Amino acid sequence: MRRLKIVPDNTKIPFVKYRHIAVGLSAIIVLAAVVSMFTKGFNFGIDFKGGTVIEIATQGPADISDLRTRLNNLGLGEVQLQRFGKDTDVLIRIGTEHGQPMDDGGQVVIGKVKAELGDKVEYRRIESVGPQVSGELIRSATLAVLISVAAMFAYIWFRFEWQFGLGAVLSIVHDVMATILVFSFFQLEFNLTTIAALLTIVGYSMNDTVVVFDRMRENLRKYKKMDLGELIDLSINETLSRTIMTSVTTLIALISLFIFGGEVIRSFTFAMIFGILIGTYSSIYVAAPVLMAIGITREWGSVQLGRGKANADKKA
């Protein structure tokens, strides 16, 4: 039976040779992310900005412009309407008045909208976050990302060497920045689930990176004299098939979720799909060049080898 092979056996792609291009590209991505963050900023959802979101289902196809006029007449400040999935579903976003503290968790706003639209529409979802809570959510979300990056660094340092830890952390930072760039540049809504997606991307990207690192460590013990660049190339090529396979199975599952999982979760899924792609790239092209640049102490490899040998002797 013929097998589907996404990556042919024994690839010998000279990844290290092209690393300058990759590093340049990554640098541009990170730079662009920073620029976009400061110039375009984010399209924060209510989790981080405060405000109210109401999802309604009308009986017939929704007349958006009529709804918009009626809601704008309520004097609630900035009101945005948007079709949400089906013809009958409309998402209403109501911001907090600029710079003004919102009334207690949007209760007045919700009351006014309900009075205007009446009982004819179905209120599928109402979310309202006050400015006090949204401020706390920003803090805890930022903290979550920082803590997980630090935890990853600590773990890799513990399992490998600090050079590996640094490479891993830089590749995480790269992935996070790239995702931020996409969210900022295209002004996609950035909310709590985006942070959840970011952390998942961090976990996934590490997963990929660790497998490559693990193979490098193994090869460092096996080929003590091999040139570092050659060794990195070998390790990446050896694990390439697995890296791609896992990315494909994960993407298959996520794409199914993106298509069939419903409107509520679509942006969350999009962030993860993007993250998987960028994470696959970075585990090959960010982590390894960092190791090339700072070098690895071969001493450590041989010490480990010695220990390994001792264990092997014991087993024998």
Partner 1 sequence: MLHFERWKIVLIALVTLAGVFYTAPNFLPKTALEEVPSFLPHKQINLGLDLRGGSYLLLEVDTATVNKDRLQAQMNDVRKALRDKRILYTGLGVNGDAVTVRISKPEDVETATKAIEGLGAMVSANLLSGGLPQRDITVTATGGLITVTNTDAAKLARAQSAIQQSMEIVRRRIDELGTTEPVIQQQGLDRILVQVPGLDDPSRLKALLGQTAKLNFRLVDTSTTAQQALATHTIPAGSEVLYMTENPSQPLLVQRRVMVGGDSLTDAQPGFDSRSGEPIVSFRFDSTGGRLFGEVTRDNVGKPFAIVLDNKVISAPVIREAIVGGSGQISGNFTVQQANDLAILLRAGALPAPLNVLEERTVGASLGADSIRAGLIASIIGSLAVVVFMMACYGLFGVFANIALVVNVVLIMGALSLLQATLTLPGIAGIILTIGTAVDANVLIYERIREELRVGKTPIAAIEAGYNRALAPIIDANVTHFISAAVLFELGSGPVRGFAVTLAIGVVTSVFTAVTVNRFIVSTWVRRARPKTISL
Binding to partner 1 (CB under 8 A): which residues in 14-73? Answer: 55, 57
Map the footprint of partner 1 across residues 208-227, applying CB under 8 A.
208, 210-211, 213-215, 218
Ranges within 267-286 binding partner 1 (CB under 8 A): 268-269, 272
- Sole window of 72-80, 142-150, 182-190, 220-228 interacting with partner 1 (rule: CB under 8 A): 142-150
Task: Name 80's bridge partners.
Answer: 93
Q: Tell me which residue of 47, 290, 31, 4 sits closest to 162, measured CA to CA.
A: 290
Site for partner 1 in 151-170 (CB under 8 A): 151-152, 155, 159
Instruction: Look at the block and give the residue holding tokens 């179905």.
Output: 122
Question: How many angstroms separate the Cα of 256 from the Cα of each of 100, 249, 252, 265, 276?
Answer: 42, 11, 6, 12, 15
Q: Counting contacts by CB under 8 A, is residue 135 touching partner 1?
A: no
Find the binder of partner 1 among 30, 79, 141, 287 (CB under 8 A): 141
- In the complex, minimum distance from the CB of residue 159 to partner 1, in angstroms, rounded to a whole number: 6
Contact criterion met (CB below 8 Å) for 167 and 209: yes
Among 250, 270, 304, 305, binds partner 1 (CB under 8 A): 250
Instruction: Report in angstroms how near the CB of residue 226 gets to partner 1 at its nearest.
Output: 17
Could you give the angle at which helices 131-159 and 192-222 cross, rounded to 10 degrees?
Answer: 10
Q: Is 304 in the site for partner 1 (CB under 8 A)?
A: no
Question: Taking a C-beta distance cutoff of 8 angstroms, is the pair 167, 292 a contact?
Answer: no
CA quadruple 119, 120, 124, 126: dihedral sign: negative
Q: How many residues bind partner 1 (CB under 8 A)?
A: 80
Q: Shortest gap between Cβ of 29 and partner 1 (angstroms)?
A: 22
Helix or strand run (H / E) with residue 239 = helix 228-260
Q: Which is nearer to partner 1, 208 or 233 (CB)?
A: 208
Q: Which is nearer to partner 1, 20 or 222 (CB)?
A: 222
Contact status, residue 241 vs residue 187, Cβ threshold 8 Å: no
At closest approach, how far in Å is the CB of 110 from partner 1? 8
Give min distance, CB of 187 to partner 1, in A: 22
Q: Which is nearer to partner 1, 229 or 261 (CB)?
A: 261
Under the binding rule (CB under 8 A), the answer on residue 195 touching partner 1 is: yes
Rounded to 5°, angle at Cα 303 from 300 and 308:
125
Q: Report the site for partner 1 in 88-127 (rule: CB under 8 A).
A: 104-107, 110-111, 114, 122-127
Cβ of residue 285: shortest distance to partner 1, in angstroms? 19
The least CB distance from residue 1 to partner 1, in Å, is: 6
Whichever of 107 and 302 has its CB closer to partner 1, that residue is 107
Q: Write the interaction track for partner 1 spanning residues 174-193; mark x where CB under 8 A is met and - where it is not.
A: ------------------xx
Give Cα separations from 61 to 86, 108, 115 (angstroms): 9, 28, 21
In the bound state with partner 1, the residue whose beta carbon lies nearer, of 69 and 140, is 140
- Out of 31, 64, 253, 310, the only residue in the binding site for partner 1 (CB under 8 A) is 253
- In terms of CB distance, is 36 or 198 closer to partner 1? 198
Separation in Å, CA 283 to CA 167, 170, 209, 212, 243: 9, 10, 5, 8, 9
Q: Are 215 and 288 in contact (CB under 8 A)?
A: no
CB contact set of 272 (below 8 Å; sequence gap of 6+) = 197, 200, 201, 254
